[in-house]
Amino acid sequence: MNNEKMLEDEIRGYIGGLEYDSLQFDFNTQDGKIKLDVTTINPIHKQHFLFHTVLGYDREDALKKMLDYVKNYKERESSYTVQWS
C-alpha cells in the first residue's frame, strides 16, 4: 500500500461514520502548489459538502496537512461525526 493511500485511510478513520466512498479527495494545482479538497458525499442524495481545503507542495504534503487538521480538529472539538440528514 502506498503512502498516499495510507494517509487517505488514516484521514477516513479520524473523520469516521462514513461509507468508504462517501469521502472524496480532490487534488488540483493552484499557484504552483497542490490544493486538496476533502468532500463528504451524501450516500442517498449524492450531494457534496466541502469538509476542508489545504495547500501542499505535493500530494503527500497536502495529505499530511489534512491529517494534521483532522487530528487537531477532533482533539479541539472532542469528537465529531459527519452525518447527513
Question: Cα–Cα distance between 37 and 19 in angstroms, integer?
Answer: 18
* Residue 37 placed within a domain: yes
Instruction: Answer yes or no: is 68 within a domain.
Output: yes
Asked whether residue 79 is domain-assigned, the answer is: no
- 78 within domain boundaries: no
Cell numbers given for 6: 495510507
In this structure, the strands spanning 23-30 and 48-56 are unpaired
Q: How many domains does the chain have?
A: 1
81 within some domain: no
Residue 43 domain flag: yes
Torsions phi, psi for 72 (to 5 deg):
-65, -40
- HEC readout, the chain: CCHHHHHHHHHHHHHCCCCHHHEEEEEEEECCEEEEEEEEECCCCCCEEEEEEEEECCHHHHHHHHHHHHHHHHHHCCCCCCCCC
pLDDT 10s digits, 26-51 = 999 999 999 999 998 887 888 988 99
CATH of the domain at 41: 3.30.160.40
pTM confidence score: 0.81
Please give the residue range of the domain that contains residue 40. 3-73
pLDDT of 60 over the 70 cut: yes
Higher pLDDT, 24 or 18: 24
